[in-house]
């Protein structure tokens, strides 16, 4: 089976249709660049993303998607690719580059731009809605197609895993499920269920703005042997149109153990979309166990009011060469 690393956050066909929209904000294409045209696996693509205002992002990424389903047996492992290496060129522009992986052959459209401010949040700009670009990349994959059915495969990649007998997978899966069930039973017996509360009014719930510190208390009914816990909030109200693409989850990552059962968890609130947030998960720091919203005891509601309009300005252009000063 070929891996298909689909990015579900993008409505691919919708983007393709939206690219034909007239009177959309224009994005100029440079000359003699390499953010479009014909390319193969291993080629480096380099694009330039310019924003409407002065920005200080920690990273900028550019995403290309194949808008149509590939033919059965088509060579290639991916139907999208992401350029992740970014360098600031001037106050408004970032150079974004990356090496092309083994993609299915076809014409890839520029799907989105993502800009991040580290733990302060991120924004995803969708092509055809928040900006417009007609840049495309024609990926050339000359590897022979794999036959369909029971015929022997040809042109197999050296990176493909060795195929084990099906019975081995079934046996390993059953053992993994049994081991997971044992760990879950032990966790529930020893750790118990978490209750989330606040020591002082408004420290955890209530109305907050980005940059403020939220502090929540987490008490387990048992005696959890954990170094720390993280708290994850999710937005439960619709995102305003002007804030489309802003982050919609809040993660508090700093924790201090107060006693055998209680942790104090805090963190700076990011520049996420305004609205009402409720707890989604309590997570063991460093990985391990997690408790989802159905297992959490809490009536705390956090309302985030983000009036910032300068940290994530609109995308002005995606080009193949930096704009002239």
pLDDT of residue 157: 38
User: Quick one: fold of 191-304?
Assistant: Immunoglobulin-like (2.60.40)
Structure tokens at 59: 């990273």
DSSP 284-325: ETTSS-EEEGGG-B----EEE-----SSSPPEEEEESSPPP-
Task: Give ∠ CA 115-118-122 in degrees, rounded to 5.
Answer: 35
User: Quick one: fold of 12-159?
Assistant: Immunoglobulin-like (2.60.40)
Model pTM score: 0.75
Q: What are the residues facing 74 on neighbouring strands? A: none
Q: Decide whether 12-159 matches 191-304 in CATH topology.
A: yes
Tens of pLDDT, residues 94-150: 999 999 999 999 999 999 999 999 999 999 999 999 999 999 999 998 866 555 544
DSSP 2-26: ------TTS-HHHHHHHTT-TTPPP
Largest Cα–Cα separation, the chain: 68
How far is the C-alpha of 34 from the C-alpha of 169, rounded, in Å? Answer: 44
Q: First vs last Cα of the chain: how many Å apart? A: 49
Where do we find the tokens 């100029």? 28
Given a cut of 50, the residues of the chain with pLDDT beneath it are 1-32, 149-161
For residue 222, which phi and psi values (nearest 5 degrees)?
-105, -150
The domain spans of the chain are 12-159, 191-304
pLDDT of residue 192: 87
pLDDT of residue 238: 97
Closest to 251 measured CA to CA, from 234, 237, 264: 234
């Amino acid at each position: 089976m070929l891996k298909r690393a689909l990015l579900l956050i993008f409505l691919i066909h919708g983007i393709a249709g939206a690219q034909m929209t007239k009177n959309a904000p224009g994005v100029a294409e440079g000359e003699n660049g390499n953010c479009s045209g014909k390319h193969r696996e291993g080629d480096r693509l380099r694009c330039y993303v310019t924003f409407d205002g002065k920005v200080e992002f920690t990273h900028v990424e550019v995403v290309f998607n194949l808008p149509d389903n590939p033919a059965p047996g088509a060579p290639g492992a991916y139907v999208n690719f992401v350029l992740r290496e970014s360098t600031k060129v001037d106050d408004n522009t970032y150079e974004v580059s990356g090496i092309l992986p083994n993609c299915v052959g076809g014409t890839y459209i520029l799907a989105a731009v993502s800009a991040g401010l580290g733990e302060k949040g991120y924004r995803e700009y969708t092509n055809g809605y928040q900006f417009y670009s007609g840049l495309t990349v024609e990926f050339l994959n000359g590897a022979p197609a794999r036959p369909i059915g029971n015929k022997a495969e040809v042109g197999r990649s050296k990176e493909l895993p060795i195929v084990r007998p099906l019975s081995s997978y079934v046996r390993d899966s059953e053992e993994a499920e049994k081991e997971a069930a044992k760990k879950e039973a032990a966790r529930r017996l020893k750790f118990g269920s978490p209750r989330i509360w606040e020591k002082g009014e408004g420290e955890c719930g209530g109305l907050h703005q980005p940059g403020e510190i939220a502090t929540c208390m987490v008490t387990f009914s048992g005696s959890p042997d954990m170094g720390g816990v993280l708290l994850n909030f999710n937005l439960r109200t619709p995102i305003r149109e002007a804030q489309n693409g802003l982050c919609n989850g809040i993660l508090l990552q700093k924790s201090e153990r107060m006693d055998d059962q209680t942790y104090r968890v805090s963190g700076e609130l990011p520049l996420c979309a305004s609205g009402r947030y409720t707890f989604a998960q309590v997570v063991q720091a460093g990985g391990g166990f997690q408790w989802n919203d159905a297992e959490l005891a809490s009536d705390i509601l956090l309302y985030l009011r983000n009036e910032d309009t300068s940290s994530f300005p609109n995308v002005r252009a995606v080009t193949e060469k930096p704009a002239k000063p």
